[in-house]
Amino acid sequence: MHTLPTSETQIADTVLAARAERTPLEISGGGTKRRLGRRVQAAATLSTDALRGITLYRPTELVISANSGTPLSEITQTLGEQGQELAFEPIDHRTVYGGEGAEPTIGGVIACNLSGPRRVNAGAARDHLLGVRAVNGRGEVIKNGGRVVKNVTGYDLCKLFAGSFGTLGILTEVTLKVRPKAERAATLVLFGLDEVAGQAAMAEALGSPFDVTGAAYLPATQASTLGVSALADAGTSATVIRLEGFADSVAYRTDALRGSYGPRAATTVLDDADGAAVWAGIRDVRPLAASSGSLWRVSTTPSEGPAVLARLRERSPVDAVLDWGGGLVWLAVEAGDDDGAAAVRDAVRPSGGHATLVRPAGGGPGEGEVFDPPPPVLAMLGDRIKRSFDPDRILNPGRMYAGV
Amino acid sequence: MIELPPPREDVLARRAQIAADLRGLIDKPEAVIDAADEMRAYETDGLTAYRQMPMLVVLPGSTEEVSRVMAYCHDNGIRVVARGAGTSLAGGALPLADSVVIGVSRLSRVLDIDFANRTATVQAGVTNMGITRAVEHEQYFYAPDPSSQIVCTIAGNIAMNSGGAHCLKYGVTTNNLMGVTLVLPDGQVVELGGKHLDAAGYDLLGLITGSEGGLGIVTEATVRILRSAEGARPALISFDSNEAAGACVDAIIGSGIIPVALEFMDKPAIHATEAFAKAGYPLDAEAMLIVEVEGSEAEIAALLDRIVAIAQAHDPRTIRVSQSDAESALIWKGRKAAFGAVGQIMPDYYCMDGTIPTGTLPEVLGRIGALSAAYGFQVANIFHAGDGNLHPLILYDANKPGELARAEEMGAEILKLCVDVGGCLTGEHGVGVEKRDLMPVQFNPTDLDQQRRLKSAFDPQWLLNPAKVFPLTDTPPAWDDPAPLNLPTHGGVDAHASH
Amino acid sequence: MQTNFTLAQLADQAMAESEKILRTCVHCGFCLATCPTYQILGDELDSPRGRIYQIKEMFENDRPAPETVVKHIDRCLSCLSCMTTCPSGVNYMHLVDHARVHIEETHQRALPDRILRELLARLIPNPRLFRLALLGAWLARPIARYLPGRLKGMVAMAPARLPGPSPIDRPQVIPAEGPRRRRVTLLNGCAQQVLDPGINEATVRLLTRHGVEVVVARGNGCCGAVTHHMGKEEPAHRAAKANIAAWSAEMVEHGGEGLDAIIINTSGCGTTVKDYGFMLRGEPEWADRAAKVSAITRDISEFMVELGLNPPVIATGQTVAYHSACSMQHGQQIRTEPKRLLQAVGFQVRYVPEGHLCCGSAGTYNLLQPELATELRDRKVGNIEKLKPDLIATGNIGCMTQIGSGTGIPIVHTAALLDWATGGPKPEALRDLSDPAQSGADPDRSMAA
């Protein structure tokens, strides 16, 4: 059964009915990332796809509200007309899931807390979420936060909803902080560094006073896949660093940063168009999209990115792209029975952080644990939080962890 | 006087035994304070209108000691109120008569500075400024900068999700916190987050930030530190009307510039702070903006040029661009000390902290002016204009009978006004005990019950700071036991995996 | 902050003053940040805000000082760092002074404590007795380790060498070199002239060299701070009056030749003398003269900035860690003057990190609260040594003794350094200091004439 409510009230009624019948619901939006997370155990689907529309936009207050089923593209376009954007640069999963689904919705982006390369500078999706309306598993409409940036009135449920994969409530409306789009974006490329030197160069950039908004490392084989001739022609690894802002300021900072590296690597600066292609490619993991094997996303201590890779290589061949200055490692692993889970998690553990199986070798969704299983006390807390929203486990059961 | 839950007589009856037991859990006997004369200093925080003597005060020296004290209190049904430096302006650290106050002020060590990963890990009693001091020799800083930053602890900052003047660009505490060591109400110690971004699972770090000491006590924190810009410089722009200043704010933001700070002060606020800071604020202006931008000298000059050009179109009274670091420091000195400085003109102030959509500023200031006239209290308005966080200071004299009650009444009117125009009750000070009873203005019972159930999830007995944030009710909301589900037959969901 | 005093209580002038101070405090807590004892102990009771609260309770309830409150007030250094930090303008100095008087009047201390305080109150202000006591202490050094607690510490503080009395400290008039530009009197004090008579000598040389006639007035002596800080009002006021009488006699309105300033070269004394006007406000026959004295009192550094310095006659450029005494930076709010003077004669001056924190000397504090004082000293010395200075300069004998007991880096009075640079003898403490390398001096030398 697939329901497509057109209002918050209808959603609440659907949940109430599902709860009365003890029938779990799978929650979806545009359906572009149904494969992200564990398989949901549900006979019925509830889609927010029909709950569309921007409900408030105040450019001078840097705020936008939209119903959760609003396509991300609609929001991007509306903001773009006023020279604004969502600074957290959410990934579009259609690249790694082969174009599955219609269009990503803003509700889906928030529910999965998706952030791209600018995460290192501007924060994650959760940092931009000012307010929510949602229907919890009790069929109640609840709101939290608001439309202002500074707000500490009551507990911050927005943070919980972001990244809860629809297991706590069905988002019906989200309010987001927006930022002016930069006038200019320059991408400084350092060629030919190995992973360790590349990570160090990224750390230097992020530790510089130049307000770097992206720092990623592409090994030679990956650098050539982005359709940018300057990278493809070089035939070496590319460490890419993005600087954004007013044109004169970007020019100054790019020069200063470039100069600070001295002669250790050949460098170039990409223009806005090439740069945009590079960062969109990194955001959507284009270099590893076509890889066989399983696709993993690792969040770790940035300086440890190369160490995680080194440990993993001892057990399995691996292709990788480093984003977030080394703190976000995308891995294409030649998987064993477990999609490489044991090898990946063992490699991450000493460095701190966690690993998510984004795309199992078989295409997924995975049967095993997709996210790192939490330690017992946190699992207990997670369970209690889930019950406080959704006592009967009606919403997306099992999507994050078994039982949640 | 604010209503507090009735003390538990059985707990109070065991007071001497509890003090003795706690001394057994703490290395330093002096760190358990039970003499009335000494506890008196802990009866209030930055909001002195509310006072309540605690049952006992404990100042643990380590996470382990906090954990032992919490476990003891949990096992013995004793309420706990956490305290940082006691600078809350919302009565967040107000004790209960039967409570043990756990102060984190002795947890004051910086544990790890990691420039390569841009993080600092500190014990929770380290001050906000203490973090910056620990990293500034490498030109780094910790971004959130509440006005009390020289003294407020990171524990308190996390509890209240503190902001500051510079969070327009850098965000508030929750945007700069990477991980914590958290002691749960039953004494269990958990680590949330770390040096990596976006921890797995539910965002517990985000939830406990701003939870006002109701979900656990933070004993260590890992925060993001940032490299300082090459330079920063403020400009002072004054106007003949609040409307002109408000329109100028809109125009600056609308032009695509995000200043690192954008502060607004009205005439009474200008006068009070000038008396302390002698920063050369324009005493004859109706409103003043402090706009700060950062970058290299050339970048600063270019940005300030743009801002000055925008300001010129809004009929400014004066425009003064800071010419030196000393001048910049002086300009900020007045703003940062603004609350204390009003002590120079009136003995007591009642500080509001609502947030409003920035576009409504002129309307809101007009309506506050009307309230000021109606109640007969002078009001000084200080406003984080870039983000809409408004701090009206209602000036009154607590020694005059009835003034406090009327100041509170007027404060409530102002906060309702903030909610009315689309804002909220509190932007950065927290609900505490002060705004507890106004929560239904912003939230309906369903919203509040959801939040209450979350508290129950962490603290089933409601022992931690129980009289704060939520209006007092007789019992916490009912806790539903899960009922069995009708699961589809295919697949292998183990929805009831044991925990 | 709200207070609860009865009208009868407020009829007392001192109480009325204190009530006014308490009303100014808004309990914001900023003072916690810069209070040395709170930094060490982390207990709000040992912070200004906590102490203000305890004092308020004590005064409002009009009761004898309880043991617990005495403990926390005793731990206060009276460094007044809190007053620099306070945005509301709370006069903590007058409040804590009042509390100390109240403690002294209403609280019976344990006998050993009483004896010790009485001893200090009688010995230190009297140079002759103090010299004898130090001699005794010096003799006791070999057996120091067998002595109980605080006594051991006191003996350890006794200097290894005790110079003889200086002729400069006798009543006299020392004429200016060249045309007389100013006429001043010098407080020649008590403990300082015993511990380091060279400071007064250097001060007089510095002044006369710059055209200043210096009067050492008959009858001037201890400023009263030692007893004042113990809450012993009577001897403190007696000392103040003796000085006021001695100096007033030199003023034109009292038939003297006139005084442009009263020069103090121990900042602890300066804070007190500048407060004589307040101290004696309730005594009609003294109030005016006291206020006049306070009005013309200057630290030697303030006065030399006014006067301008001769250019240096020796090779300078040594790195000087300038330690600002609490009584200098907080008590008198003198911050930049000493640094500017030292720079003007060519020294490379560095401020000490955490410079707002007390070194633990604080008058008799290092003798009465040795553990806290030592912890503060070690922290101070650590901060100074980070600068790797050639020498330390400061304007207060207490700090010199305290810091000097914890480091091998020579420590010299600012006036002695200025004297040396402009033509005086090299200070004794610097005899092993070699000439500076030919590095450039500080650019900020605009003070030099």
Domain boundary among A136, A161, A180: A180
Q: Which helix (H) or strand (E) holds B16?
A: helix B15-23
The answer to whether residues A112 and A257 belong to one domain is no
CATH number, residue A331: 3.30.70.260
pLDDT digits (tens, 9 = 90+) for A298-331: 999 999 999 999 999 999 899 999 999 999 999 9
Against chain B, the chains showing at least 3 CB pairs within 8 Å are A, C
- Does residue A155 sit in the same domain as residue A7? yes
Q: What is the pLDDT of residue A146?
A: 95
pLDDT confidence of residue B290:
95
| Domain count along chain C | 4
Asked if residues A331 and A298 have their Cβ atoms less than 8 Å apart, the reply is yes
Residue C278, min C-alpha distance to chain B (Å): 20
Contact C30/B106, CB-based, under 8 Å? no
Q: Are C41 and C21 within one domain?
A: yes
The confidence score (pLDDT) of residue C449 equals: 37
Whether residues C340 and C384 share a domain: the answer is yes
**Residue B297 sits at the chain A interface (C-beta within 8 Å):** no
Out of 3.30.465.10, 3.30.70.1230, 1.10.390.10, 1.10.10.10, which CATH number does the structure's domain B1-228+443-476 have?
Answer: 3.30.465.10
Residue C446 within any structural domain of the chain: no
CB A12 within 8 A of CB A139: yes
Instruction: Judge whether C442 lies within some domain.
Output: no
Q: Chain B: nearest CA to A136, how far in angstroms?
A: 9
Write the CATH number for A131: 3.30.465.10
Min Cα distance A387 → chain B (Å) is 7
Mutant choice from A84, A129, A155, A172 vs B, greatest count of B C-beta within 10 A: A155
Cis? peptide before B282, omega within 30° of 0: no
C325/C202 same-domain check: no
**Could you tell me if A57 and A157 lie in one domain?**
yes
Closest-CA distance, B345 to chain A, in angstroms, reads 29
Neighbours of chain C (3+ CB pairs under 8 A): B
Instruction: For residue A392, tell me if it sits in a domain.
Output: no
Amino acid at B148: S
Q: Are B172 and A21 inside 8 Å of each other by CB?
A: no
Edge-first strand listing for the sheet containing C182-186: C172-174, C212-216, C182-186, C261-264, C297-299
SS3 call for C150: helix
Does a structural domain hold residue C440?
Answer: no
Nearest to C24 among B87, B347, B399 (CB): B347
Position A372 pLDDT exceeds 50: yes
Residues A173 and A257 in one domain: no
Query: Do the domain assignments include residue A98?
Result: yes
The answer on A190 and A155 residing in a single domain is no
Q: Quote the domain boundaries for residue A258.
A: 184-283
What domain range is C137 assigned to?
Answer: 113-157
**Same domain as A32, residue A93:** yes
* Residue of C49, C46, C55, C35 whose CA lies nearest to C98: C55
Closest to B389 in 3D by CA, of B397, B381, B379, B400: B381
**For residue A41, what pLDDT is reported?**
82
| Percent of all residues in chain C with a pLDDT value above 70, rounded to a whole number | 95
Residue the block writes with tokens 């200070």: C427
Label residue B240 left, alpha or beta by phi (over 0 means left) and psi (-120 to 50 means alpha). alpha
Å from B298 to nearest chain C CA?
A: 26
A158 in a domain, yes or no?
yes
CATH classification number, B232-420, choose in 3.30.43.10, 1.10.357.10, 3.20.20.450, 3.40.462.10: 3.40.462.10
In the three-class reduction of DSSP (H, G, I as helix; E, B as strand; rest coil), residue C181 is classed as coil
How would you label B378-417 residue by residue, b for 16+ Cβ within 10 Å and e otherwise?
bbbbbbbbbbbbbbbbbbbebbeeebbebbbebbbbbbeb
For A141-195, how does the pLDDT look when each residue is reduced to its tens digit (9 = 90+)? 999 999 999 999 999 999 999 999 999 999 999 999 999 999 999 999 999 999 9
Closest CA to C209 of C315, C349, C311, C322: C311
| In a shared domain, residues C422 and C359 | yes
B6 touches A: beta carbon within 8 Å: no
Write down the H helix ranges in A131-193.
157-161
- Judged by average pLDDT, the poorest of B407-416, C143-152, C250-259 is C143-152
- The pLDDT value recorded for residue B499 is 33
Clarify whether residues A37 and A125 are in a common domain: yes
- Given this model, what pLDDT does residue C87 score? 85
- Identify whether C119 is part of a domain: yes
User: What is the 3-state secondary structure of A61-75?
Assistant: HCEEEEECCCEHHHH
Answer yes or no: do C293 and C384 share one domain: no
Residues A227 and A146 in one domain: no
Structure token digits, residue A202:
């990224």
Token pair for residue B458? 């962490």
Supply φ then ψ for residue C165, to 5 degrees.
Answer: -65, 150
Q: Looking at the domain assignment, is residue C435 inside a domain?
A: no
A-B C-beta contacts closer than 8 Å: 310
pLDDT along chain B (499 residues), means of 10: 88 97 95 93 92 97 98 97 95 96 96 97 97 93 93 97 88 97 97 95 97 97 96 95 90 89 91 85 94 92 94 95 91 82 79 92 91 94 89 90 93 96 95 94 95 94 94 65 46 33
Residues A296, A275 share a domain: no
Listed residues A238, A257, A283: the one ending a domain: A283
C446 or B250, greater pLDDT: B250
Q: How far is B208 from chain A (nearest CA, A)?
A: 8
Give me the pLDDT at residue B487, please: 46
Q: Which residue of C has its CA nearest to B89?
A: C28
- Among A125, A159, A180, give the residue marking a domain's end: A180
Cβ pair B209:A207 closer than 8 A: no
Do C178 and C298 have their domain in common? yes
Q: Are residues A205 and A140 in the same domain?
A: no
Residues C184 and C240 in one domain: yes
* CATH code assigned at C392: 3.40.50.1860
- Decide if C29 and B87 are in contact by the 8 Å CB cutoff: yes
Write out residues 382-441 of B within 8 Å (CB-CB) of A: 384, 387-389, 422-431, 435, 439
- Closest of A281, A220, A210 to residue A241, by C-alpha: A210
- Estimate the crossing angle of helix A305-313 against helix A195-206, to 10 degrees: 160
Q: Is residue C436 part of a domain?
A: no
Same domain flag for C265 and C292: yes
SS3 A216: strand
| pTM for the model | 0.91
- Chains A and C share 3 or more Cβ pairs within 8 Å: no
CB pairs under 8 A between B and C: 117
pLDDT of residue A335: 74
The arithmetic mean of pLDDT across residues C324-351, rounded, is 95
> Residue C285: exposed, middle, or buried by beta-carbon count in 10 A (0-12, 13-18, 19+)?
exposed
Angle at C52 between CA C383 and CA B91, to 5 degrees: 95
CATH of the domain at A253: 3.30.70.141
Q: Where are the alpha helices (DSSP H) in C35-168?
A: 36-41, 48-60, 67-74, 81-85, 92-106, 111-123, 127-140, 149-157
Element (H, E) at B243: helix B242-254
Strand order in the sheet with B32-33: B32-33, B56-58, B99-103, B79-83
Tell whether C444 is covered by a domain: no
* C377 plus C286 within the same structural domain: no
- What are the structural domain ranges in chain B? 1-228+443-476, 232-420
Beta carbons of B299 and A252 less than 8 Å apart:
yes
Closest-CA residue of chain A to B447: A142
Q: Does pLDDT of C332 surpass 70?
A: yes
Instruction: Determine, yes or no, domain membership for C447.
Output: no
Q: What is the pLDDT of residues A69-115, one digit of tens each?
A: 999 999 999 999 999 999 999 999 999 998 888 899 999 999 999 99
Taking alpha carbons only, the member of C232, B160, B474 closest to residue A153 is B160
Total number of domains constituting chain A: 3
Same domain, A57 and A202: no
Note whether C63 contacts B: Cβ–Cβ < 8 A: no
Same domain, A296 and A276: no
Task: Render pLDDT for C199-248 as a digit per residue (tens, 0 to 9).
Answer: 999 999 999 999 999 999 999 999 999 999 999 999 999 999 999 999 99
Contact check, Cβ <8 Å, C44/B105: yes
Contact assignment for B201 to A371 by CB distance below 8 Å? yes
